[in-house]
Amino acid sequence: MPRIERAEILKAAASLGVLGHGADSAPQIMAALCDPQVLAGEVSKLIAGQPALYARVLRVANSPYHGQGRSITSVDRAIAILGFDAVRGIAAAACLDKTMPRKNQPSCIDMEAVLRHSIATGAAAQALARTFRPALAAEAFIAGLLANLGIMVQMTLDAPGVTKILAARSANDRRDVRDLEIEHAGVGHEACVAVIFEAWHLPVSLIAAVAHHHDPMTANRPDRDLAVLISLGAGIALASGSTYSLEPHTPPPDTGAMCWIGAEASHLAAIAAELPMQATEFHRALRAA
């Protein structure tokens, strides 16, 4: 089957609006937030140039999730309260929303279910990181939240291939979705999101994490921690009930990945038990109004 090239992925991503336009787009804001040298004033100025993102930041800052006693009306104050990590999450959620079909657009996949899985994956990956790799907690949430961003690009580029994968699932084919993509599709969702992250100029570790989240032990050793966190986070999300049509089953635990970060089955089960409530809170705080 002919493989779909990078230029075609970028064209499809642009058609969906996820590449952004100009220095004040949500992807560019995320890239700035991933820069360790960025200043709060620079971020505030970037967000002020994006009315929808500005409104979302204020909405999250004023949400019950953050428990503020008085109204937050300025983005500077919101950033001070939320912190850069949360603002990165809000920008990431804005990018994810770009791929969601509108109500009048038919889709062969329940994208709301994909969104719930994505939020649960980010929350689970972050919870794992806080225990086993604390320095990667923010990156784990961002990469986990956006790991499935490539699905809509994949559907745009290769709808027949996605349809074949869904047919395989309907026939109870329980193989990893990556194996089904190799057999039936011209491009995998991991490749699509990795190309998008490259276009956003995000750090190499984030690109590697999403490119290898179905086979994290193949990532280069410096990038493997984050890839493992995302992979295990996705499995925990599925185990907690956040499934969707392309991944309707809970895969067996990746013992190699668990060993890599020092996690045991009990750790994953504990996160899975708390995840539905946490994911619901994240969904309420991050979902577009």
177-181: long-range contacts, CB 8 A cutoff, minimum separation 24: 177/214, 177/246, 177/247, 178/214, 178/215, 181/154
In tens, the pLDDT along 147-186 reads 999 998 999 999 999 999 999 999 999 999 999 999 999 9
84-88, 98-102, 134-138, 236-240, range with the lowest pLDDT: 98-102
For the chain, give every residue range classified as CATH 1.10.3210.10.
Answer: 1-18+103-289
Average pLDDT on 50-58 reads: 83
Which residues, other chains included, contact 8 with Cβ-Cβ below 8 Å and sequence gap of 6+? 157, 187
Q: What would the DSSP string read from start to end of 24-42?
A: TSHHHHHHHHT-TT--HHH
Give the pLDDT confidence score for residue 281 in this predicted structure: 76
Average pLDDT on 65-94 reads: 77
Average pLDDT on 275-280 reads: 87
Domain 1-18+103-289 sits in which CATH superfamily? Answer: Hypothetical protein af1432 (1.10.3210.10)
Q: Is the pLDDT assigned to residue 67 strictly greater than 60?
A: no
Give the pLDDT confidence score for residue 288 in this predicted structure: 44
75-84, 90-99, 161-170, 202-211, range with the lowest pLDDT: 90-99
Give the pLDDT confidence score for residue 23 in this predicted structure: 54
The letter for the amino acid at 219 is: A
As a whole number of angstroms, the distance between CA 102 and CA 148 comes to: 18
As a whole number of angstroms, the distance between CA 189 and CA 184 comes to: 13
As a whole number of angstroms, the distance between CA 201 and CA 31 comes to: 6
Average pLDDT on 216-230 reads: 96
Average pLDDT, the chain: 87
Q: With contact defined as beta carbons under 8 Å apart, do 227 and 180 qualify?
A: no
Q: With contact defined as beta carbons under 8 Å apart, do 122 and 140 qualify?
A: yes
Give the pLDDT confidence score for residue 101 in this predicted structure: 64
Which residues, other chains included, contact 42 with Cβ-Cβ below 8 Å and sequence gap of 6+? 32
Confidence of residue 144 (pLDDT cuts 50, 70, 90): very high
- Range of 17-21, 28-32, 67-71, 247-251 with top mean pLDDT: 247-251
Q: With contact defined as beta carbons under 8 Å apart, do 249 and 177 qualify?
A: no
Beta bridge partners of 244: 247
Confidence of residue 252 (pLDDT cuts 50, 70, 90): very high
Give the pLDDT confidence score for residue 106 in this predicted structure: 59
Q: Which residue has the higher pLDDT, 201 or 191?
A: 191
Q: Which residue has the higher pLDDT, 61 or 239?
A: 239
Give the pLDDT confidence score for residue 286 in this predicted structure: 60
